[in-house]
Amino acid sequence: MPDTAPSPTEAARPERPLPARRNVAVLVAAQAILGAQMPMIFTIGGLAGQSLAANPCWATLPISLIVLGSMVSATPLSALMQRFGRRAGFVLGAAGGAAGAAIGAWGLVAASFPLFLAGAFLTGIYMSAQGFYRFAAADTADAAFRPKAISYVMAGGLLSAVIGPQLVKLTAEAMVVPFLGTYLAVIALNLLGALLFLGLDIPAPRPPADGAPRGRTRRELLATPAIAVAVICASVSYALMNLVMTSTPLAVVGCGFSKGNAADVVSAHVLAMFAPSFVTGHLIARFGAERIVAAGLAILAAAGAVGLSGVELGQFFLALVLLGVGWNFGFIGATAMLAAAHAPEERGRIQGLNDMLVFGSVTLASLASGGLMNCSGGTAEAGWQAVNLFMVPFLALAGAALIWLALRPRRE
């Protein structure tokens, strides 16, 4: 069934119920299968970058380029999906992931850091498309099912948390060129996973008729208090999660543990990112999105405290599990806040703008991650301390924004 707006004949018929639950099932599968490439790349990207870069301070630059590619492609992808439907954008995202992995593999074979970075940038197209899965889950859901739909799609990451790191263990040293097998596996995941979107049934938004409301401008949307705070909290939650996760494989290996240990820590982290999703939507429906976001920020602060407490393997595991749970509450809660604060005709504008700002923040965090980890004090332990201390001012900013939003109705 084409992913386009209904024809005039179809529009004249009574509107049929939209298959929200089937769409959620397709998006859960996509999150599990296609999403497995992200923990794979985030596990080995810094290690591969460290082996290719002339300066170890640039080890996490490939991760930064992925996020930069995601930021740059967020607005065009959102506009494309507003016009042609979600399926077109998601298939394009998978194509970007496959192309990025192919160029990354070429860079590994040629021992070319610039080529490897170019592949990372293209991979960002997939990362951006994956970010829209949660919004697509809300497109055909009613108000009661919407937070649960978002939450269920995020829960699909549980399988990606298992599949991705296990594929890293199987493929990282499977070929003469380290990590080449992993990038070839990522190509296969994208090519196969793109077929899932044949089952997606989300009509493209109909073009507004003459005189119909066209919604607020981007400036007006960002001036809406609930939207502004949702963007701030989503940006802080995602950026700090990325800051710490990007540094983790370097810290684990730098502190004397193995690459397999690093993969296990990342696997535990990604499981913690998505496991709470089975209940996050229910918690949002019961307690409100703002309270769940506040809980997420508190858990992120606890993750930083554990990270500062030491560099034993158990401490890495606990810090990264808390980091995952905190991200889940903060990011899904902020997404629910945003989805409830705009009209359907505004989604192409605000969702693309939101993800551009979120991934812009994540880009800066991943750039800072390598410098903090490898160029702060000269040891892995000192770098890990610097990474965790860096979280403090941003958590304070997001917390202050939530408090400001909570106090507004009383003041008005």
The pLDDT of residue 409 is 67
Q: In a 3-state reduction of DSSP, which class is residue 248? A: helix
In total, how many domains does the chain have?
1
The pLDDT of residue 99 is 96
Q: Which residue has the higher pLDDT, 375 or 348?
A: 375
Question: In this model, does residue 154 exceed pLDDT 80?
Answer: no
CA dist 355 and 304 (Å) reads 25
For residue 73, is it within any domain?
yes
Question: In this model, does residue 121 exceed pLDDT 60?
Answer: yes
Q: What is the mean pLDDT of residues 216-239?
A: 89
The pLDDT of residue 197 is 92
Q: In a 3-state reduction of DSSP, which class is residue 54? A: coil
Confidence of residue 8 (pLDDT cuts 50, 70, 90): very low
For residue 143, is it within any domain?
yes
Confidence of residue 13 (pLDDT cuts 50, 70, 90): very low
Question: In this model, does residue 106 exceed pLDDT 70?
Answer: yes
Terminal-to-terminal C-alpha distance of the chain: 49
The pLDDT of residue 343 is 76
For residue 5, is it within any domain?
no
- Both tokens of 10, joined, read 């179809």
For residue 7, is it within any domain?
no
User: Are the beta carbons of 204 and 83 closer than 8 angstroms?
Assistant: yes
Mention every residue, 6+ apart, whose C-beta is less than 8 A from residue 189. 33, 34, 36, 37, 97
Residue 19: exposed, middle, or buried by beta-carbon count in 10 A (0-12, 13-18, 19+)? Answer: middle
Confidence of residue 211 (pLDDT cuts 50, 70, 90): low
The answer to which of 117-126, 271-280, 289-298 has the lowest mean pLDDT is 271-280
Confidence of residue 48 (pLDDT cuts 50, 70, 90): confident
Q: What is the mean pLDDT of residues 353-359?
A: 82
DSSP class per residue in 349-410? HHHHHHHHHHHHHHHHHHHHHHHHHHSSSSSHHHHHHHHHHTTHHHHHHHHHHHHHHHHHHH
The pLDDT of residue 239 is 92
The pLDDT of residue 412 is 43
Closest CA to 276 of 347, 309, 324: 324
Range of the domain at 187: 17-205+218-411
Confidence of residue 168 (pLDDT cuts 50, 70, 90): confident
For residue 4, is it within any domain?
no
CA dist 384 and 339 (Å) reads 35
The pLDDT of residue 7 is 42
For residue 198, is it within any domain?
yes
Q: What is the mean pLDDT of residues 117-139?
A: 88
Q: What is the mean pLDDT of residues 211-227?
A: 79
Percent of the chain with pLDDT over 70: 91
For residue 9, is it within any domain?
no
Closest CA to 270 of 242, 237, 251, 297: 242
Closest CA to 98 of 41, 145, 140, 44: 41
Question: In this model, does residue 325 exceed pLDDT 60?
Answer: yes
Give me the CATH number covering residue 23: 1.20.1250.20
The single-letter DSSP state of residue 62 is: H
Confidence of residue 291 (pLDDT cuts 50, 70, 90): very high
Residues 337-350: b if buried by 16+ CB within 10 A, e if exposed = bbbbbbeebbbbbb
Confidence of residue 390 (pLDDT cuts 50, 70, 90): very high
Residue 18: other Cβ atoms inside 10 A: 15
The answer to which of 147-161, 174-188, 204-218 has the lowest mean pLDDT is 204-218
Please count the helices (runs of H) and the strands (runs of E) in the chain: 19, 0
The pLDDT of residue 411 is 45
CA dist 299 and 327 (Å) reads 8
The pLDDT of residue 209 is 62
The answer to which of 17-21, 55-59, 119-123, 252-256 has the lowest mean pLDDT is 17-21
